[in-house]
Structure 1
Amino acid sequence: MKAIFVGGRFDGLVCDIEAMKGKSNGKLSFDYSALRKQGACVPRAELDNQPLFDGYLSPMWDGGMLRYETQEVYDLMFD
């Protein structure tokens, strides 16, 4: 699966997320699969168990790929 990074040290990088796993902090995004099976309104399955990166928020879905943003970039959307 492709990922795009916006802001921070990887700004502008578009790559296969598998290639970035060695640069992650070793943690994964939350797995909502059990809640999803119960009918809860949760993020889409593609966001479950994705690598997390220091300085970036959890991934979001962006047109068929993962999108990682810094807090500063995210905050710009609400100024």
Structure 2
Amino acid sequence: MIPATSPSVAQKVLRVISNVKSIKPSRLRTSADLNKEFGFDTFDVVSIIWELEKIFKINIPDEVPLRTVGDFVEYVSSQTNRQK
């Protein structure tokens, strides 16, 4: 289950992640480890980060630990809430 954040943020993040590997968004659980469960490699994660930075006009530093779907949703949500 996706945390209580703006539905549009969570939906956009899920859409970006699912598009990278053509995975149905319904298969992406918050706790899903993208590498272990779906075979995402470094290039895939960088593609997700690049797309999220572009869509949300945020910067995601290299040191931010982004392993799960929930990590991406939480980080993007925290950055978009900060901009308001």
TM-score calculated relative to the size of structure 1: 0.27
- Of Structure 1 and Structure 2, the greater helix share is in 2
- Of Structure 1 and Structure 2, the greater strand share is in 1
Structure (1 or 2) with the larger CA radius of gyration: 1
